[in-house]
Each structure stands twice: as structure tokens, then as C-alpha cells.
Structure 1
Amino acid sequence: MDPAGLPQGPLLALDLGNRRIGLAFGAAPGLPSVPLGFQERRSLREDVRRIVAVAKERGAMGLVVGMPYSLSGESGEQAALTRGFIKELSKHTDLPIHTVDERYTSVEAERLLREMGARPSRDKGSVDALAATLILERFWIQEGYRADDGSPGGD
């Protein structure tokens, strides 16, 4: 973290779903985020163990988890499940865990994949990984990083 409390260094982003966890990695703000694929969900314990292993392997200095608010912005059942996952994850890592509103990231990921000629309906794992990339990019914007050089920006 820098003096203003903003995360510094590489981050691992997660798009949590009931069946899969999409993963993306970003070395720094202003650089492209990279989809890392997805992991099939198994059990909470196993999912957390694998996420911690990926974060360590990639040298992540923090985690960003998409928070699934409803379209109206309310916190529902999926958000409660995500908070439970984050609580368990925090027991197994000292890395800071950040959240960001993930509304429409999967829709945007599907649109981007169609533009690239892919068929998202046949490759949900790619949708999840690309959604994780969008979650990470949204986080950096939310935290005030400037896209041009990756430095914290102000108004």
C-alpha cells in the first residue's frame, strides 16, 4: 500500500460464481490485465486453498473480488455468499482483499468475446476469466488510478 492506502503492485482478481471462479492478473495499473482462465468450484476450503496458491505463484500483493450487487444496487444472497468466501479467504492469507461492484461485467465480457468471434454460450470459463479482468480494471478506476501511467490520480 502506498501512503494514501492505495494498493501497489500486482493484483489477482476473482469473479466468483456458483460453478466457476474466473481469474485475472494485473501487474500494475495502466498495464493490461491478463485473464488467467478459471477454476471449477469444488468446496469452500479447496477453492480458497487454490486461490491462495495462485496468488502466491503470481506474486500478487492483493486480491480484488467482484461483489455481485443486484441491478438496483442492493446486497442480496449472492453478495452474502461472496462475503462468506472473502471471510474464509482472509483466514488463509495476509494479502489485502478489496471488493468492487461487478454489475454487468459478465455481460460486457460476453459482448467482447462475441466481437472477437467467440461463442460465449459455449465457453463460460472464458466469460468468467474476462469478467475478472474487467473487475480488476474497474477496481483501478474506482481507486483513482490514471490509465495513462498507472499512478494515483485526483480530480
Structure 2
Amino acid sequence: MRIMGLDYGSVTVGVAISDELLITAQGIETIRRKHETKLRQTLARIDELIKEYAVERIVLGYPKNMNNTIGERAVKSEEFAESLRNRTGLEVILWDERLTTVAAHQTLILGDVRREERSQVVDKLAAVLILQGYLDFLCNQKKMLDDSGEAKEL
């Protein structure tokens, strides 16, 4: 099983894929489009990647406001999630992505990546951070269960 992570932006979608053991996330590509509302080719490319990597679930970044409210970008992400569900038939999980793009920029700056190159990979790296956060959550959930499947006392 593999999981796809997506960082949905106004004209780009960063894409990451998990390994088969659901331990690590790897950046695959950044899908670009000319206009925010032109999603047909973007969805078609996501379909191709789902087939190529045998993806069974999608984790989509959910850009909530810092005060935990839902803004315009989060609403657009909800609409995109519904489009993905309808087109792929896969489960789409909205995952809190607050500050992932900031973290991606900082990582690239610390890695001494030039400004022009950063803009080419920042969305893909943000998708990696979104997916890795979800994979870490899954790993921690497994650790909290004992052999009988019952939750352990903390």
C-alpha cells in the first residue's frame, strides 16, 4: 500500500508518495497549471500517478488559519478533496498543513538552495512534509495499540 500526499495551491500541486511500508515520504513532482480553476489536466496527472504507484489513499494538505478557523484556501482544499474523491474513488484525508510551506522554505534556505530553484521545489517539499506528518501519526497510532488491538493506558 502507498499513500499520496498533496500540497494544493492556487496554480501548483506538490506531490509526494510514501514507501510501501508507510515509513517515509518522497517528493515526486510539482504539477503546474495556468489558471486556478483549470483542474482537468491536474486531476488527470494525479490519476496517472495513482496508477503508477498503486496509491490507495490520499492525504491533502488542509491550510487552516493559525487560530484554527477555516478560510478561503481551506474551502478550496475541501472542494478539491471532493473532486479527488469523485474522480478516483479513494479516501481523501484533509491533514492540517499549517506552516508546512514556511518549513519547506526554511529547509531549502538552510540547504543553500538558490531562490530560483526553491520556487521549483517548495510545493513538492511541502507535500513531503504533509505526508510525513500523516505517516508519523499512523506510526504513533500503531505503537499505542497493544497486541489485542485495545488502546494502551497512557
TM over 0.5: yes
**1:36 paired to 2:40:** no
- Preserved contact between residue 120 and residue 126 of structure 1 (Cα < 8 Å): no
Q: Which residue of 1 aligns with 2:109?
A: 114
Q: Measure how far apart 1:121 and its partner are.
A: 5.6
- The runs of at least 4 consecutive aligned structure 1 residues that moved more than 3 Å come to none
Q: 1:153 aligns with which of 122, 143, 153?
A: 143
Q: Measure how far apart 1:152 and its partner are.
A: 1.6
Larger Rg: 2
Q: Which residue of 1 aligns with 2:84?
A: 89
Equivalent residue runs for 1:45-124 within 5 Å: 45-120=40-115, 122-124=117-119
Q: 1:130 aligns with which of 100, 125, 128?
A: 125
TM-score by length of 1: 0.83
Q: Which residue of 2 aligns with 1:19?
A: 11
Report the identity percentage. 27
Provide Cα deviations, 1:73-125, integer angstroms capped at 9, x if missing partner: 11111111111111111111122111110000011111111121103464323
Q: Measure how far apart 1:55 and its partner are.
A: 1.1
Distance in 2 of aligned mates of 1:19 and 1:45 = 13
Q: Aligned residues, how many? A: 141
Distance in 1 of aligned mates of 2:96 and 2:59 = 10
Distance in 1 of aligned mates of 2:136 and 2:69 = 21
TM-score by length of 2: 0.83
Give structure 2 stretches of 5+ with no counterpart. 145-153
More strand as a share of residues: 2
More helix as a share of residues: 2
